[in-house]
Amino acid sequence: MLVGAGVGLLLVQHGCDGPSEAASTPPSASGQDRNNTEGTQAAPAPASGCAPAACAEQGIAAFKSGDFKTAHDPLAYACTNGQANACRYHGMIFERGNGVEQDFTRASKLYEQSCQGGDGAGCQLRGHLARNGRGQDRDLKQAFGFYERACDAGDGVGCAAAGDMMYGGQGVAESMGGAIKFFERACERDQLVACLNAGELLFDPTGAPEQNQRAVAVLTRGCEKGNADACVKLGICYYNGVGVAADAAAAHKHFTSGCSGGADDGCHAAEQLDKAKGKQVTLELTTAVESSNIDGVTARNLSCRMREQGYMAIGEIMSSLGKQLKALEKCGAAGEAPTITWAFRPKRVTSVKVEHTSTPKVEKCIARALKKTRPAQQGQCTVTLLLGDRDRAAAALKARK
């Protein structure tokens, strides 16, 4: 999957804490939910004698302070007396093994009680267990169902996870339009990576104005809330007049915001505009690929900043490496995983840096081979290549992590 400010999606992180601590009373169990809650025994009232809602508050406070032993009894009592958020926190104790034996099956049942009671974060956590095959066989369809329920209950992480799965066709029919809607809903709930994802998918310089206006809306929210990559993408919208009137000054402002937030593309783009002094420039932005195998070249963590972005641009870079594959494979025949950074202009490599080789001789050999490549573009790339004996190369890469 492509990632980065120039193009692509970032996967959303799935956490354990939900957005709300409001308690809710579960409806009568029916169908599958009844089956999944059978066998849950009513917990005795804790020594404090707290009422269910107060027990939930006490248990959650103890959980958040790291006092899981104290949290256990009030959470158990509150859960069996209708406090859905208490079920979720009680489930987290068993999922993580906090002061108890780790038990994914019990965590799963508690999350389902939480979900059944309208706690969106409980639905999301139940989906996470199904997606990762914890306490059960991996079940992507079931995972998507729980994520969708989480989203409908107001959980932003659930919305983002549902978008991830729909974008990739995991457990549900692949649908870019559907994924965008889930990402937009997640963005409304301040899942900032989802704001970026929605913006990336909506952004289309040749698309309908309404679509690009939606891209600007989610990117604006993501940028204002602190997502640096969303600021960079928003700057691209303003610079090129996509979804908003072209405004170089506003573009520079957003690029600078992205730079301040740690997005290198923002720094580079702002510098390009400064040097241009009002003249039109072609922005050089980053496209990144976690793994690729094109023309026999096995690449990991390929990242290129160029005037052209996307799969086509990455494909051209991989093809230029492929033309020197025999030489590269000979250099690393025993199994190497070198990390290479090289700068280039059309038909010419201007500099090469090779790291993480077994010997200086291998390093020089790889550098010589790279200098013979003839890229069609201008820019700079960094990549880790697996050369020669693939098992040994993979082991060398793993040893560095």
- Supply the DSSP string of 46-85, one letter for each residue: PTT---HHHHHHHHHHHHHTT-HHHHHHHHHHHHTTT-HH
Task: State the sign of the Cα–Cα–Cα–Cα dihedral 180, 237, 286, 193.
Answer: negative
Model confidence band, residue 42 (pLDDT cutoffs 50, 70, 90):
low
Scan for tokens 């248990």, then name that residue: 59
pLDDT for 356-398, tens place per residue? Answer: 999 999 999 999 999 999 999 999 999 999 999 999 999 999 9
pTM of the model: 0.77
pLDDT for 335-360, tens place per residue? Answer: 999 999 999 999 999 999 999 999 99
Closest CA to 308 of 200, 381, 243, 374: 381
Q: Yes or no: say if 378 and 313 are a contact pair by the CB < 8 Å rule.
A: no
Q: Residue 285 half-sphere exposure, CB side, CA atoms within 13 Å?
A: 24
- 278 Cβ neighbours under 8 A, 6+ residues apart: 248
- 183 Cβ neighbours under 8 A, 6+ residues apart: 159, 160, 163, 194, 195, 197, 198, 201, 218
The angle at the Cα of 232, spanning 198 to 253, to the nearest 5 degrees, equals 130
Mean pLDDT of all residues in 117-125: 98
Mean pLDDT of all residues in 34-42: 44
Model confidence band, residue 308 (pLDDT cutoffs 50, 70, 90):
confident
Task: State the sign of the Cα–Cα–Cα–Cα dihedral 168, 164, 219, 178.
Answer: positive
The angle at the Cα of 392, spanning 386 to 394, to the nearest 5 degrees, equals 50
Output the average pLDDT for the chain: 89
3-class SS of residue 292: strand
Question: Per CATH, is 31-186 categorized as 1.25.40.10?
Answer: yes
Task: Indicate where the chain has its CATH 1.25.40.10 domain(s).
Answer: 31-186, 203-283
Per-residue DSSP letter, 21: -
At residue 31, does pLDDT exceed 70? no
Per-residue DSSP letter, 377: S
3-class SS of residue 288: strand
Mean pLDDT of all residues in 96-122: 97
Task: State the sign of the Cα–Cα–Cα–Cα dihedral 162, 165, 168, 173.
Answer: negative
Mean pLDDT of all residues in 230-236: 96
pLDDT for 206-218, tens place per residue? Answer: 999 999 999 999 9
% residues pLDDT > 90 (the chain): 82
**How far, in Å, CA of 298 to CA of 72, rounded?**
50
Q: Yes or no: say if 178 and 162 are a contact pair by the CB < 8 Å rule.
A: no
Residue 230, both tokens: 């969303």
**How far, in Å, CA of 312 to CA of 320, rounded?**
13
Mean pLDDT of all residues in 23-41: 36
Please give the CATH topology (third level) of the domain spanning 203-283.
1.25.40
Scan for tokens 């052209």, then name that residue: 308
End-to-end CA distance of the chain: 21
